[in-house]
Chains A and B, each alone.
Chain A
């Protein structure tokens, strides 16, 4: 018996540790459609990855021999590195496509790029794109798994998962927590994914922003909208700040940076309105003095650095789960 088992073993994903079946996920396009069970499964797996990442030998070569292609249509050094490190720790061959300098600039469409890459037989494609729906389109055209690393203002699921892991580690559980998401909700994929995830896990979600930065019918997403930090921050367990894009600061949506910081910046007096043990989060990169004061960003309540660490762990978990699910479907 043992011998035949050995024969059929394709990778370490077949090892006893992986005998709990993974959620049936071909791609990770968004949080929409995931159940609380799926999310916890990935967060639990990510906890293992945190331990591994803190070791001296950080290798866990469950996905060795497989190919990961990073396809970033928008520049993002942090997220791209996070995916790259995650892939490498799992033993994958990671290729970063320099899209900004490649044929896409010469007018090749996303679909053509997808078909070309698909022919190279990758196992995982990670894509960031400036258009909502791009990840979905890519997933329809390729045979491998797709991880959405952010598509326009639609979703950024790994960010929401890493935020959830950070919260869960700090607070023990997400259910029942009051979470305030502050800032440019209208243009934020991070906000959308987080709202969906936190609601799925039973948190109470608030959004706080000037009305020009709130999308229409935002309440239908299952949140309570506040137009002032003073009202919205009262009694919060988690304060999640969003990055305000520079091009939206001057005139079109808000009059100026200083006016924004005056009314919506997170400073000492405002954080005092939240619960005493509230944590402060930010997906980065921060605009210090615009949405968050430095003393808060570097203060004791801030978990911003931990978020980055959790990012690698969550991405490792997602990659492994997708590959495990694919393998289970194949057999």
Chain B
């Protein structure tokens, strides 16, 4: 898939004086990068400053970090069906501003993306409107009702990168078993939400805070039980499974145990769950009503340790645009979700600045790790790979203001947060899709 349609191929460029970091090759050198026809041609020190192409341009990176563009495994948009919350175009703008060059678009739209024609629609809209690569995920069950399998083979041929019921947890063990078994024949990836519907009907983490605020709680077990069930099913079916968003320390243990047993599983954590805990909800701030919910501080720390030691494979934005009509309500009546495309990198960098996780590992969890799990060519700076890159300054301080967001919805969990590290340039297939003065 390409970004913006343009008849002209992107011009050749030489990025000089960059700290080049590529987690896929553990590369961290001061070098130049030559990009031509949308691909990475050469990485090296002191590359020739002259080129036969007339449009050739040199970009001085001023020692900032040039790395692979971020790949986000969990983004919700509102197109089709809820364009007032987010369109493919506005989501792509937000992604570009956040340094995300590819994102998996969740099938939770109206209608649900459960059919070849709808996957085609998303891809076509992406081609027309999107600055970044949009990778459609298809519904695991028809209409996301958890009853009948969707056409995995045909959907995959049409370009679906994974199968998921998005926000919904597959409640039937039999359904999950068959999906894992059947998708296995196509090497298809099942991405699953893990929040038991009956047990997890609350609105925030169960515990003292929920009790104090008089809100129904979501016990940790609501996540652990379906996750443990799914691990059993993966062992039984030899399927390929990805846990979309972990939130409890026990869930990290479950995944670690499954990986020890050699199961084909991976797991992600939402950026909010590594930066915030339930105390941040304060006095019923609905923008911090999230799914999975913000948990305790110990859980947050377990997420970070999971990222560091490799149990958790990806950090995702869990971008879920909501409008005032679904958020400016009493906490218990509001919808879950927060936008996250534009804060993903900065939240990830907090782990680096706090000396919890090496920078290379943080970048890996947001780019090459997820790309590898999806089996994509992007997420690397290897010669011949698509020139999906970002240039960022890991140290520049900034404050997130909701009115500066590119997303059509403003429901950020990080309003007024202080961050360190910001995207300067986002390049998709050799074209600059976002840039900021530096």
Interface residues of A (CB under 8 A from B): 32, 109-111, 129, 131-134, 136-137, 151-155, 189, 192, 215-218, 220-221
B217 within 8 A of A: yes
B44 within 8 A of A: no
Checking B208, B214, B328 against A153 with a beta-carbon cut-off of 8 angstroms, the contacting residue is B214
Determine the chain A residues whose CB is within 8 A of the CB of B211 once the complex forms.
215-218, 220-221
Question: Quick check: B207 and A131 within 8 Å, CB to CB?
Answer: no
B283 within 8 A of A: yes
- In angstroms, Cα B282 to Cα A137, docked, is 12
Number of interface residues of B (CB under 8 A): 20
Determine the chain B residues whose CB is within 8 A of the CB of A218 once the complex forms.
211
Determine the chain A residues whose CB is within 8 A of the CB of B206 once the complex forms.
216
- In angstroms, Cα B329 to Cα A221, docked, is 27
Determine the chain B residues whose CB is within 8 A of the CB of A109 once the complex forms.
325, 328-329
Question: Quick check: B212 and A134 within 8 Å, CB to CB?
Answer: no
Q: Beyond the given A110-B329, A151-B330, A220-B208, could you list 7 further A-B residue pairs with CB under 8 A, ordered by the A residue number?
A: A110-B330, A131-B329, A133-B330, A137-B329, A153-B214, A154-B215, A220-B211
- In angstroms, Cα B330 to Cα A110, docked, is 8
- Closest Cβ of chain B to A187, distance in Å, is 8
B288-338 at interface with A (beta carbon < 8 Å) = 325, 328-333
Question: Quick check: B329 and A132 within 8 Å, CB to CB?
Answer: no
Question: Quick check: B328 and A217 within 8 Å, CB to CB?
Answer: no
Q: Which residue of chain B is the closest to A217 with respect to CB atoms? A: B208
- Closest Cβ of chain B to A134, distance in Å, is 4
Determine the chain B residues whose CB is within 8 A of the CB of A134 once the complex forms.
330
- Closest Cβ of chain A to B325, distance in Å, is 7
Determine the chain B residues whose CB is within 8 A of the CB of A215 once the complex forms.
210-211, 217
Checking B207, B215, B329 against A217 with a beta-carbon cut-off of 8 angstroms, the contacting residue is B207
B202-258 at interface with A (beta carbon < 8 Å) = 206-208, 210-215, 217, 219
Question: Quick check: A133 and B208 within 8 Å, CB to CB?
Answer: no
Question: Quick check: B214 and A216 within 8 Å, CB to CB?
Answer: no
- In angstroms, Cα B207 to Cα A220, docked, is 10
Selected A-B contacts with CB under 8 Å, 8 pairs: A109-B329, A110-B330, A131-B333, A152-B215, A216-B206, A216-B207, A216-B217, A217-B208
Question: Quick check: A132 and B208 within 8 Å, CB to CB?
Answer: no
- In angstroms, Cα B211 to Cα A32, docked, is 13
Question: Quick check: B217 and A132 within 8 Å, CB to CB?
Answer: no
- In angstroms, Cα B206 to Cα A172, docked, is 38
- In angstroms, Cα B284 to Cα A136, docked, is 8
- In angstroms, Cα B388 to Cα A62, docked, is 71
Determine the chain B residues whose CB is within 8 A of the CB of A189 once the complex forms.
214
Question: Quick check: B330 and A137 within 8 Å, CB to CB?
Answer: yes
Question: Quick check: B207 and A132 within 8 Å, CB to CB?
Answer: no
- Closest Cβ of chain B to A159, distance in Å, is 14
- Closest Cβ of chain B to A205, distance in Å, is 14
- In angstroms, Cα B206 to Cα A220, docked, is 13
Question: Quick check: B214 and A129 within 8 Å, CB to CB?
Answer: no
Checking A111, A152, A192 against B328 with a beta-carbon cut-off of 8 angstroms, the contacting residue is A111
Determine the chain A residues whose CB is within 8 A of the CB of B283 once the complex forms.
133, 136
Question: Quick check: A152 and B212 within 8 Å, CB to CB?
Answer: no
CB-based closest 7 A-B pairs: A154-B214, A133-B284, A131-B330, A153-B214, A217-B208, A132-B214, A215-B211
- In angstroms, Cα B283 to Cα A217, docked, is 19
Q: Which residue of chain A is the closest to B219 with respect to CB atoms? A: A216
- In angstroms, Cα B219 to Cα A221, docked, is 19
Determine the chain A residues whose CB is within 8 A of the CB of B217 once the complex forms.
215-216
Determine the chain A residues whose CB is within 8 A of the CB of B328 once the complex forms.
109, 111
Greatest chain B CB density within 10 A among A132, A152, A192, A221 is at A132
Q: Which residue of chain B is the closest to A187 with respect to CB atoms? A: B214
- In angstroms, Cα B215 to Cα A155, docked, is 11
- In angstroms, Cα B214 to Cα A154, docked, is 4
State whether A133 and B325 are in contact (beta carbons under 8 Å apart), knowing that A154-B213, A192-B212, A216-B211 are contacts in the complex: no
State whether A131 and B325 are in contact (beta carbons under 8 Å apart), knowing that A151-B214, A155-B214 are contacts in the complex: no
- In angstroms, Cα B207 to Cα A132, docked, is 16
- In angstroms, Cα B158 to Cα A92, docked, is 69
Determine the chain A residues whose CB is within 8 A of the CB of B330 once the complex forms.
110, 129, 131-134, 137, 151-152
- In angstroms, Cα B196 to Cα A215, docked, is 20
Determine the chain B residues whose CB is within 8 A of the CB of A151 once the complex forms.
214, 330
Determine the chain B residues whose CB is within 8 A of the CB of A129 once the complex forms.
330
- In angstroms, Cα B207 to Cα A129, docked, is 23
Determine the chain B residues whose CB is within 8 A of the CB of A221 once the complex forms.
208, 211-212
Determine the chain B residues whose CB is within 8 A of the CB of A192 once the complex forms.
212, 214
State whether A133 and B331 are in contact (beta carbons under 8 Å apart), knowing that A109-B325, A216-B217 are contacts in the complex: yes
Question: Quick check: B207 and A152 within 8 Å, CB to CB?
Answer: no
State whether A137 and B214 are in contact (beta carbons under 8 Å apart), knowing that A152-B332, A217-B207 are contacts in the complex: no
Q: Which residue of chain B is the closest to A29 with respect to CB atoms? A: B283
Question: Quick check: A132 and B325 within 8 Å, CB to CB?
Answer: no
Greatest chain B CB density within 10 A among A131, A134, A151, A221 is at A131
- Closest Cβ of chain B to A218, distance in Å, is 6
Question: Quick check: B332 and A131 within 8 Å, CB to CB?
Answer: yes
